[in-house]
Structure 1
Amino acid sequence: MADRLPQIYTWTGLFILTGAVLGMVHIPRQQDFYVLLAFYIPAFAAYIWLYRQAAEDHLLFYLAAAVIIRLLLLPAIPNLSDDIYRFIWDGRLINAGLNPFDHLPGYYLEEGHRVPGLTADLFARLNSPEYFTIYPPVAQAVFATASWLFPHSITGATLVIRAVLIAAEAGTLIFLPRVLQGWGMPPKRALLYAFNPLVIVEISGNLHFEGVMVLMFVAGLRWLQIGRINTAALAMAGAVAAKLVPLMFFPLFIRRLYAAGRWPVVFRFFGICGAALLVFFTPLLNGVFFRNIGQSLGLYFHQFEFNAGLYYIARWIGYQVAGYNQIAWIGPRLAILSAGFILLLAALERGKDWKSLPEIAMWSLLAYLACGTTIHPWYTIMLLFLSLFTRWRFPVVWTGLIMLTYIHYLNGAFKENYWVIGIEYGGVLVAILIEIFGRPRRALQR
């Protein structure tokens, strides 16, 4: 009986995690916070339990189970995010031979500009029709493929997008243990990503393209690890073409590339990466691309506010001093502050091996998130991924706490709960301080 207990506990944990994730994806809507929380708490508890008791020699079983959990989500329609409708809108535009960056969605409802499939009903489901799209070319290619395969079916197009993201997640779970093992780290740490309910729900459920970004980035790390510089450059370009976030890590590459082969290797890597990005972006480039995407990205520093950290403190001070919201002044300066911090880290850190890259990249990303005006739950996925190659586990805590931000949509009326934001950031800060000054939690560091 004693020999069977670990199996019983494992299957119980997997059953709880699977049931809770399926519940989160199928039952609560964005405004049903307490229903979502009722599923997320047992899911997160099962996640920690599964990781702590998982045996290294059964890693393949656990990784396969993580992929199966994601596959069970295939038929779902996202209920915690309405981004899918913009995905389909953009995809249908591309299939009509139009550039999704050219015009705002409302333009295509005007007489003389109508496009088959871009209906008033689909327009009504868009969450930001007054803004230009922000999705880079890899994402746009997936949208176009899904809409081409299912030109009249939202459900069918959603299934294609989800299949791509689940395949990307499966690829990540193939590369991740190999990178960990290559650096002498326990491959079991891959389970901190594989079973994380936020990762599963936000990528395979809500269809955020962090899944493709992480796949391309971990593949790039693996190829850097084994000295395949050219292939790594292509992978890193793919990561940027999926989500722009990895661009902030490129200054950290220079010293390591130089150590690998001096300036010729540096120029070769960035030359290949730049050429690949040009190929990725060329189908979308025209006279208005940079203006329109820049306008939308600028909103993240000048107008959008959600679950911010330092920005909300600065905004409160601004109200006391000037009596109004100074986001247009504060947002860009916090962005400059985070960029300056990242460049300073790149200049001062002395790491020359690729093994040290994820930790310095993690702190760079943390600075960016701390200074941001808009921090959605899925923004922490890359932070969690990078932390797997370090001793730090506060990103695990953040992925648990940041789901509390769905309370801002409670009952369908968006209103931020600053007590919850305080609990979230306070919890993360406490976790960091404990890791700095307290006894390390070895169960999660193994």
Structure 2
Amino acid sequence: MADRLPQIYTWTGLFILTGAVLGMVHIPRQQDFYVLLAFYIPAFAAYIWLYRQAAEDHLLFYLAAAVIIRLLLLPAIPNLSDDIYRFIWDGRLINAGLNPFDHLPGYYLEEGHRVPGLTADLFARLNSPEYFTIYPPVAQAVFATASWLFPHSITGATLVIRAVLIAAEAGTLIFLPRVLQGWGMSPKRALLYAFNPLVIVEISGNLHFEGVMVLMFVAGLRWLQIGRINTAALAMAGAVAAKLVPLMFFPLFIRRLYAAGRWPVVFRFFGICGAALLVFFTPLLNGVFFRNIGQSLGLYFHQFEFNAGLYYIARWIGYQVAGYNQIAWIGPRLAILSAGFILLLAALERGKDWKSLPEIAMWSLLAYLACGTTIHPWYTIMLLFLSLFTRWRFPVVWTGLIMLTYIHYLNGAFKENYWVIGIEYGGVLVAILIEIFGRPRRALQR
């Protein structure tokens, strides 16, 4: 009986995690916070339990189980996010031969500009119809493919997008243990990503393209690890073309590329990467692309506010001094502050090997998130991924606490709960301080 106990515990943990994840994706809507929390708490507890008791020699079983959990989400329609409707809107525009960056959605409801499939009903479901789209070319290609395969079916197009993201996640779980092993780390750490309920729900459930970004980035790391510079450059370009976030890490590459082969290697890597990005973006480039996407991205620094850290402190000070919200002044300066911090890190850090890259990239991303005016739960996925190659585990804590931000949508009326934000950031800060000054348990560091 004793020999069977670990097996029983494993199946129990997997059953709880699977049931809770399925519940989160199928039952609560965005405003049903307490229902969501009732599923997320056992899911997160099962996640930690599964990782702590998992045996490394059964890693393939656990990774396969993680993929199966994601596959069980295939038929779901996202309840916690309405981004899917913008995905389909953009995809239908592309299939009509139109550039989704050219006009605001309302333009296509005007007489003379109608496009098949872009109906008033679909328009009513868009969460930001007054803003230009912000999705890069890899995401747009997936939207177009899904809408081409299912031109009249939201459910069918959703299934295609989810299948792509689950395939990306499966690819990540193939590359991740290999990168960890290549740097002499336990491949078991991959389970901290594989079973994380936030990762599962936000990528395979809510269809955020962090899944493709992480796949491209981990593939790039693997190819850098084994010296395939050209292939790595293509992968890193793919990561940027999926989500723009990895651009902030490029200054950290220069010293390591130089160590690998002096300036010719530096120029070769960035030359290939730049050429690939040009190929990715060329179908979308025209006279208004940079203006319109820049306008939407600018809203993240001048207008949008959600679950911010340092910004809310600065905003409060601004209210005391000036008596009104100074986001238009504070937001860009915090962005400059985070960019300056990242460039300073790149200049001062002395790492020349690729093994040291994820840790310095993690701190760079943390600075960016700390200074951001809008921090959605899925923004922490890349932070969690980078932490797997380090001794730091506070991103695990953040992925647990940041789901509390769904309370802001409680009962369908958006209103931020600053007590919850304080608990979230306070908990992350305490976790960081414990890891720096205390004696954290090593169970999650193996």
User: Cα distance, 1:8 vs. partner?
Assistant: 0.1
Partners in 2 of 1:275 and 1:435 — Cα distance?
Answer: 41
Secondary structure (helix, strand or coil) at the match of 2:2 reads coil
Partners in 2 of 1:443 and 1:29 — Cα distance?
Answer: 34
Equivalent in the alignment of 1:20:
20
Partners in 2 of 1:68 and 1:227 — Cα distance?
Answer: 33
Partners in 1 of 2:154 and 2:3 — Cα distance?
Answer: 48
Partners in 2 of 1:306 and 1:253 — Cα distance?
Answer: 31
Partners in 1 of 2:301 and 2:262 — Cα distance?
Answer: 37
User: Cα distance, 1:234 vs. partner?
Assistant: 0.0
Q: Determine whether 1:162 maps to 2:162.
A: yes
Q: Deviations over 1:19-38 (max 9, x none)?
A: 00000000000000000000
Q: Deviations over 1:291-345 (max 9, x none)?
A: 0000000000000000000000000000000000000000000000000000000
Secondary structure (helix, strand or coil) at the match of 2:299 reads helix
Partners in 2 of 1:445 and 1:414 — Cα distance?
Answer: 37
Q: Deviations over 1:202-229 (max 9, x none)?
A: 0000000000000000000000000000
Partners in 2 of 1:202 and 1:144 — Cα distance?
Answer: 21
Secondary structure (helix, strand or coil) at the match of 1:3 reads helix
Partners in 1 of 2:156 and 2:309 — Cα distance?
Answer: 38
Q: Deviations over 1:19-68 (max 9, x none)?
A: 00000000000000000000000000000000000000000000000000
- Spell out the pairing of 1:2-401 with structure 2 (5 A cutoff): 2-401=2-401
Please, what is the CA RMSD of the aligned residues? 0.2
Secondary structure (helix, strand or coil) at the match of 2:3 reads coil
Listed as ranges, the gaps of 5+ residues in structure 1 are none
Secondary structure (helix, strand or coil) at the match of 1:440 reads coil
User: Cα distance, 1:441 vs. partner?
Assistant: 1.8
Q: Deviations over 1:382-421 (max 9, x none)?
A: 0000000000000000000000000000000000000000
Q: Deviations over 1:153-197 (max 9, x none)?
A: 000000000000000000000000000000000000000000000
> Which 4+ stretches in 1 moved above 2 angstroms?
none
Secondary structure (helix, strand or coil) at the match of 2:84 reads helix
Partners in 2 of 1:336 and 1:442 — Cα distance?
Answer: 36
User: Cα distance, 1:10 vs. partner?
Assistant: 0.0
Partners in 1 of 2:55 and 2:240 — Cα distance?
Answer: 35
Partners in 2 of 1:441 and 1:284 — Cα distance?
Answer: 49
Partners in 1 of 2:258 and 2:64 — Cα distance?
Answer: 38
User: Cα distance, 1:440 vs. partner?
Assistant: 2.8
Q: Percent identity?
A: 100
Partners in 1 of 2:440 and 2:361 — Cα distance?
Answer: 21
Partners in 2 of 1:406 and 1:303 — Cα distance?
Answer: 20
Partners in 2 of 1:72 and 1:49 — Cα distance?
Answer: 21
Partners in 2 of 1:99 and 1:110 — Cα distance?
Answer: 17
Secondary structure (helix, strand or coil) at the match of 1:4 reads helix
Partners in 2 of 1:226 and 1:414 — Cα distance?
Answer: 48
The TM-score, its normalising length taken from structure 1, stands at: 1.00
Secondary structure (helix, strand or coil) at the match of 1:152 reads coil
Partners in 2 of 1:301 and 1:409 — Cα distance?
Answer: 22
Listed as ranges, the gaps of 5+ residues in structure 2 are none
Partners in 2 of 1:294 and 1:128 — Cα distance?
Answer: 16
User: Cα distance, 1:100 vs. partner?
Assistant: 0.0
Secondary structure (helix, strand or coil) at the match of 1:304 reads coil
Q: Deviations over 1:346-400 (max 9, x none)?
A: 0000000000000000000000000000000000000000000000000000000
Partners in 2 of 1:445 and 1:316 — Cα distance?
Answer: 37
Partners in 2 of 1:279 and 1:62 — Cα distance?
Answer: 38
